[in-house]
Amino acid sequence: MKAMMLIKIAVVTVIFFLLVLMGLHNRATVDFNLPPLLASQVEQPAALMYFAFFAVGLMTGAILCAGGSAGGSKEKGKPNKPS
């Protein structure tokens, strides 16, 4: 296994651990306002909002990484050799 993969696994594990800690210790409700998209105020536990924001960020990062490079795709195959 590559070292970079181990580092990524360790970082994600630490982030998940912090997310669990936030869920355990932030049980009070908080208000969330987003006037252009939400007509009313949302009141949820802080831990649930942390989880929701984390999920949105994770999905955004996954979509951006899955998109590939901006320069286009690189095709793998045999090079064209004239015979």
Residue 79 placed within a domain: no
Count of domains observed in the chain: 1
Residue 65 placed within a domain: no
Residue 70 placed within a domain: no
Q: What is the number of other CB atoms lying within 10 angstroms of the CB of residue 46?
A: 16
Half-sphere CA count of 26, side-chain side, radius 13 A: 16
What does each of the 83 residues of the chain score in pLDDT, given as a tens digit?
Answer: 688 889 988 988 888 888 888 888 888 998 989 888 889 998 988 888 888 888 888 889 888 888 765 555 555 666 676 66
Domain limits at 46? 13-58
Residue 36 placed within a domain: yes
What's the pTM value of the predicted model, to 2 decimals?
0.56
Residue 5 placed within a domain: no
Q: State the Cα–Cα distance between residues 14 and 8, nearest whole angstrom.
A: 10
Half-sphere CA count of 17, side-chain side, radius 13 A: 6
